[in-house]
Every structure is written in C-alpha cells, then in structure tokens.
Amino acid sequence: MRRLLDKLVDRMELFALKRGEVARIDGIGVADVRWKGDQRDLFRQTISESMRLLREHNPRRYAIVKRYIKWIVNRVTNTMGGDYHYRTGICNLELPHIPGLDQNVLAAWFACMLVHEGTHGVIESRGIANTEDNCSRIERLCVAEQNRFAAKLAEFDPERYPARLLHFEFDEKYWRWEWTATPKQRRGAFLSLWLADMKAEPRAAPNGGHATCSGNSSVTEGPPSVS
C-alpha cells in the first residue's frame, strides 16, 4: 500500500513539474515552480550555462548528471539550496536572492551542485542507503566531487570562476539539522521558508558583481550550500 501511495505522489509531482517546464536540455527537464513569466528566464539561462560548463569541461561528470538527474527544479528547499530524490530523479536547486552576484559564478556554482547531486545518484544506485552511520561520509564524498569540478573551472579561468567562491569546505554542522530534524520540524521549517520566499522579489544578478551571503545559507561568502 505504501509503495502504491509513493508512486501516486511521484506521478502527481512529475505532472506538476511538466506544467512548470521552461526548458529541456539533453533529455533533462528544467522546471521553475517558484517564479512566473519572464522571471523564469534567469533560472533557465543559469541552468543552460551550468550544463554547458559541465559538458565542455568534464564530460564524465556530465554523463553522470544525465544518467541520474531527470529534472532540475527551481524550488524552495530545507536543505541549504539543493537536494536530490533518487526515485524520481528530481534535483531541486533553489536559485538564491543575491544582489550583485556575477552570473558566471552563479552558473558555475550550480554546475558544481549538479555534480554533488549526481554523485548522490551514483551512491544510491549502488544500494548504499543514507543512514545515520554513513550520512557524513556520503556528504563528504559528494562535496569532494563538487570541489574537484570547481577546481577544474578555477584552473581554466580563475577570474571568471574564482576558487575562493566555488570551493566549499565540508563541515558537518551544515547538515546536522537535516539529519536530526523530525518530520514536524521539517514541515514547519519548510513553511517558514516558503512564506518568506513568497514575499521576496526575484532579481537577476548583473555581471561583474561580487557574491555575498544568502539568507538560506550558513556560508559567509558565495552561493548557498548543497545537500
């Protein structure tokens, strides 16, 4: 019965995503369920550029993303800006409200996040469950993969893709709440974040700007974290 209910929920979610689809890149659907109209162009353009960076600078990781991620969605998350669901292949990436953030940095950061979430897909495909005993090791591995790609971009063009903004230092405290929160706490936190996001005005970041902190992140400089 639980399995049937899960399948029904998955189908309803995928139907909703199709209504919010703004692009399809190499078979991956790109959907925006936060914003409307022209505001969605920023997310579409950002993800298109992120995918280009992956395709041109690391074909192997690009292939992993294509294999395990079926949808990339702009959606409010409880997980510092990103999460992944293996059963549906949905990768949620919350486009941040960061005035003045350089678009090159934003696209590069999301490319790194896609590497991180794609690594989660690889791990789950091997039957490795995210348990209390191994969740820290799994996140450490995913962060290491995203940092390897960040270093590759920084080596290619250090001015456009500065390592100091793209490198993410692993620290368990960024995930501790996610690992220990009860379902009720998760629902309450999500509702608060969703209401705050509804009141916020999405703004396109001009090129040449400098990254500042995001209200949904524990990082003091640069784009938000991942999960």
**Whole-angstrom distance, CA of residue 22 vs CA of residue 163:** 30
In a domain, 117, yes or no: yes
**Whole-angstrom distance, CA of residue 68 vs CA of residue 89:** 6
Which DSSP symbol is given to 30? E
Q: What is the pLDDT of residue 97?
A: 67
The answer to whether residue 221 scores a pLDDT higher than 60 is: no
Residue 125 pLDDT class (50, 70, 90 cuts): very high
For range 30-39, the mean pLDDT: 84
Which residue from 47, 29, 31 is spatially nearest to 111, judged by alpha carbons? 47
Residue 177 pLDDT class (50, 70, 90 cuts): confident
In a domain, 222, yes or no: no
Range of the domain at 59: 21-80+92-199
Counted domains in the chain: 1
In a domain, 15, yes or no: no
Residue 226 pLDDT class (50, 70, 90 cuts): low
Q: What is the pLDDT of residue 199?
A: 72
Residue 183 pLDDT class (50, 70, 90 cuts): confident
In a domain, 13, yes or no: no
Average pLDDT of the chain is: 83
In a domain, 223, yes or no: no
In a domain, 135, yes or no: yes
Element (H, E) at 61: helix 59-68
Q: What is the pLDDT of residue 202?
A: 55
Beta bridge partners of 72: 30, 91
Beta bridge partners of 92: 73, 83
Kindly report each contact of residues 121-127 with a partner whose C-beta sits within 8 Å and lies 24 or more positions away, as own/partner. Answer: 121/64, 121/67, 121/68, 121/69, 121/84, 121/86, 121/89, 122/64, 122/68, 124/86, 125/68, 125/86
For range 30-58, the mean pLDDT: 91
Q: What is the pLDDT of residue 158?
A: 96
